[in-house]
């Protein structure tokens, strides 16, 4: 059960605490944020303490201090601790998943999957020590005019304090995808959890606490973003911001952030282009899996289908038949379509549908009811909207809900043009049986990733994951996140004479003779070396 047993110390009464300096406590502010259960309108799921400005500042100060020590922790010990957290998370997947069901209405089975996937991500990230234990060794004489008298050692150093801001839809997985790389690289992390998703995040943070990370290295500070959001994101001790969430929020943060590396993933309008030689059944299945899972609340969800008009009717018919089989209802029952996270989100989605209908789109509401459009509170029945045209909002905007527009195209180029006209550029996908056409389309589609014959997806989590344009900046995926959360440190060894290796360091005979004579006569030519010491020989 959430907040009991292993997790009883993270709650006081019915209010969840915040985590800093290695322990859990209620904020001195007395402020409380409320987490509402998306499945039951108006029902409070949880109460969480909201940190004060001073508590947030203290979390950053402690992070800075703890990071200096953590950066000197051997890589193998860092890896051991990540494996330990992963194990604790696997053991406690039940209570953490329970929170996901209640605060973001994620289907129960998908909630457990998210926790296990996150533990696996941490285990994989622990192997990141292979990357961190490698450096670069450069000779100077590869550059014109330089003898080989400078040896350059380049290695990766931690940035310092990482501010991690995850979104509601994957509060556990997307927090781990930030914390894991940050820690293995030697950084400290301050997590600002999403309100909807904060209790799942707090439970996950407790697993890190139980693993025994140094006090202060990790903190989780729920705040009222409207009050302290800017304070957190512009704090002088922030050395990097890793944010996943809405485009508007992310863009605003990136404009205010200091001169720090940014890792921003801001959503997408992932396009699916279906060609005449594409497998229509496969495409339909991927629209269902890729477009409607978690009610479309995924940045990588299929968000517009661009299908050649000659096969459009066949595709729409196949998708509608599959939509009719989707289970609609509460996440506890593992329904395919669950309530979206907030009423505001549901209202936004309804606005897009209403606009499309007003402009003569065809609403293909499955045979759930005679209604074309069905919504009950935050619960929206899955909807394919056919005959969408570019004058409709849903052709361009990200619903983050179970509604998918279908646009009919005459040429593949028309599909590429629409994809590239979007302000987003996260992922896309192409369905065709011709690998050459697939590669040409992938090259032409301006997106971070193009999937061939499968729906967009971030996983597996070690794959590079990035958006362009307003879909974000910086690349995720375990390796890329580790590299983004480090900086390069170089040390240059300046030598008095060129240095060669593998026996190529033969002295000219004359200097060998003078060297031998100096040994015999004891009056070797005294030279000042790089360290300032006067000696007769470099070795």
Ligand X SMILES: NC(=O)C1=CN([C@@H]2O[C@H](COP(=O)(O)OP(=O)(O)OC[C@H]3O[C@@H](n4cnc5c(N)ncnc54)[C@H](OP(=O)(O)O)[C@@H]3O)[C@@H](O)[C@H]2O)C=CC1
The residues annotated as belonging to the active site are 265
Region for residue 257 given its phi and psi (left: phi exceeds 0; alpha: psi -120 to 50; beta: otherwise): beta
Minimum CB separation from ligand 3PG for residue 46, in Å? 22
- Residue where the block lists tokens 């991500």: 121
* Residue (155 or 454) nearer to ligand 3PG, CB: 454
200 binds ligand 3PG (CB under 6 A): no
Minimum CB separation from ligand X for residue 403, in Å? 13
Minimum CB separation from ligand X for residue 314, in Å? 31
170 binds ligand 3PG (CB under 6 A): yes
Minimum CB separation from ligand X for residue 35, in Å? 10
Minimum CB separation from ligand 3PG for residue 456, in Å? 7
Partner from ligand X, ligand 3PG, none binding residue 121, C-beta < 5-8 Å depending on class = none
Site for ligand 3PG in 294-333 (CB under 6 A): 298-300
* Rounded-to-integer distance, Cα 482 and Cα 125, Å: 8
* Rounded-to-integer distance, Cα 414 and Cα 423, Å: 17
Q: Please, is 130 exposed, middle or buried when counting C-beta atoms within 10 Å of its C-beta (0-12, 13-18, 19+)?
A: exposed
CA angle (484 as vertex; 116, 197 as ends), nearest 5: 40
* Rounded-to-integer distance, Cα 382 and Cα 375, Å: 9
Return the number of other C-beta atoms located less than 10 Å from residue 416's C-beta.
22
Among 67, 244, 249, 481, binds ligand 3PG (CB under 6 A): 244
Give, in order, the Cα–Cα distances in Å from 477 to each of 204, 309, 458, 498. Answer: 20, 36, 8, 41
Minimum CB separation from ligand 3PG for residue 455, in Å? 9
* Rounded-to-integer distance, Cα 111 and Cα 462, Å: 20
Q: Is 93 helix (H, G, I), strand (E, B) or coil?
A: helix
* Residue (107 or 167) nearer to ligand X, CB: 167
Residue 470 near residue 424, CB atoms below 8 Å: yes
Number of residues that bind ligand 3PG (CB under 6 A): 10
106 binds ligand 3PG (CB under 6 A): no
169 binds ligand 3PG (CB under 6 A): yes
Output the six-digit token pair for 252: 């605003």
Pattern 353-392, binding to ligand 3PG, x per CB under 6 A? ----------------------------------------
* Residue (298 or 375) nearer to ligand 3PG, CB: 298
Partner from ligand X, ligand 3PG, none binding residue 458, C-beta < 5-8 Å depending on class = ligand 3PG
Partner from ligand 3PG, ligand X, none binding residue 246, C-beta < 5-8 Å depending on class = ligand X
* Rounded-to-integer distance, Cα 316 and Cα 281, Å: 10
* Rounded-to-integer distance, Cα 306 and Cα 205, Å: 42
Site for ligand 3PG in 446-475 (CB under 6 A): 457-459
Partner from ligand 3PG, ligand X, none binding residue 168, C-beta < 5-8 Å depending on class = ligand X
Residue 187 near residue 510, CB atoms below 8 Å: no
Identify any residues that bridge with 403 across adjacent strands, giving them in sequence order: 383
* Residue (167 or 290) nearer to ligand X, CB: 167
By CB under 6 A, name the binding residues for ligand 3PG.
169-170, 244, 265, 298-300, 457-459
């Amino acid at each position: 059960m959430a907040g009991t047993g292993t997790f009883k110390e993270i709650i006081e009464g019915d209010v969840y605490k915040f985590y800093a300096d290695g322990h859990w406590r209620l904020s001195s502010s007395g402020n409380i944020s409320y987490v509402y259960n998306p499945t039951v309108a108006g029902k409070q799921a949880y109460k969480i303490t909201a940190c004060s400005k001073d508590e947030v500042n203290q979390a950053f100060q402690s992070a800075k201090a703890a990071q200096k020590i953590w950066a000197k922790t051997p890589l193998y010990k860092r890896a051991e601790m990540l494996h330990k957290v992963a194990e604790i998370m696997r053991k406690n997947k039940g209570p953490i998943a329970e929170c996901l069901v209640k605060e973001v209405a994620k289907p129960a089975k998908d909630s457990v999957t998210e926790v296990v996937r996150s533990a696996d991500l941490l285990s994989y990230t622990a192997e990141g020590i292979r990357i961190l234990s490698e450096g670069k060794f450069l000779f100077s004489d590869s550059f014109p005019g330089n003898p080989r008298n400078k040896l350059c050692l380049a290695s990766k150093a931690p940035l310092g304090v990482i501010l991690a801001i995850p979104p509601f839809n994957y509060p556990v997985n997307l927090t781990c995808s930030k914390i894991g790389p940050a820690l293995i690289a030697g950084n400290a992390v301050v997590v600002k959890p999403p309100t909807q998703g904060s209790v799942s995040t707090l439970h996950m943070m407790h697993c890190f606490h139980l693993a025994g990370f140094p006090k202060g290295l990790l903190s989780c500070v729920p705040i009222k973003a409207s009050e302290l959001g800017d304070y957190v994101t512009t704090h002088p001790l922030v050395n990097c911001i890793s944010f996943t969430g809405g485009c508007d929020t992310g863009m605003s943060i990136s404009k205010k952030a200091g001169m720090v590396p940014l890792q921003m993933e801001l959503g997408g309008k992932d396009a699916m282009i279906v060609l005449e030689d594409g497998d229509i059944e496969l495409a339909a299945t991927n629209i269902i899996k890729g477009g409607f899972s978690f009610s479309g609340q995924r940045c990588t969800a299929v968000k517009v289908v661009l299908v050649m008009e000659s096969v459009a009717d066949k595709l729409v018919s196949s998708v509608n038949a599959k939509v009719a089989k989707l289970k609609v209802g509460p996440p506890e029952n593992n329904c395919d379509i669950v309530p979206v996270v907030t009423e505001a989100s549901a209202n936004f989605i309804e606005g897009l549908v209403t606009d499309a209908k007003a402009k003569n789109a065809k609403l293909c509401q499955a045979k759930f009811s005679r209604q074309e459009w069905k919504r009950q509170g935050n619960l929206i029945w899955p909807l394919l909207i056919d005959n969408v045209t570019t004058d409709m909002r849903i052709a361009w905007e990200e619903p983050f809900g179970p509604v998918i527009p279908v646009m009919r195209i005459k040429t593949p180029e028309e599909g590429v043009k629409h994809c590239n006209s979007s302000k987003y550029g996260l992922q896309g996908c192409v369905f065709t049986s011709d690998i050459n056409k697939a590669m040409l389309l992938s090259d032409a589609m301006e997106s971070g990733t193009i999937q061939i014959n499968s729906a967009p997806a971030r996983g597996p989590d070690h794959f590079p994951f990035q958006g362009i344009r307003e879909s974000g900046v910086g690349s995720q995926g375990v390796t890329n996140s580790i590299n983004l959360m480090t900086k390069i440190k170089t040390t240059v060894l300046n030598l008095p004479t060129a240095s060669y290796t593998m026996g190529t360091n033969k002295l000219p005979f004359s200097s060998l003779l003078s060297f031998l004579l100096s040994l015999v006569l004891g009056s070797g030519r005294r030279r000042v070396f790089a360290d300032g010491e006067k000696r007769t020989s470099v070795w």
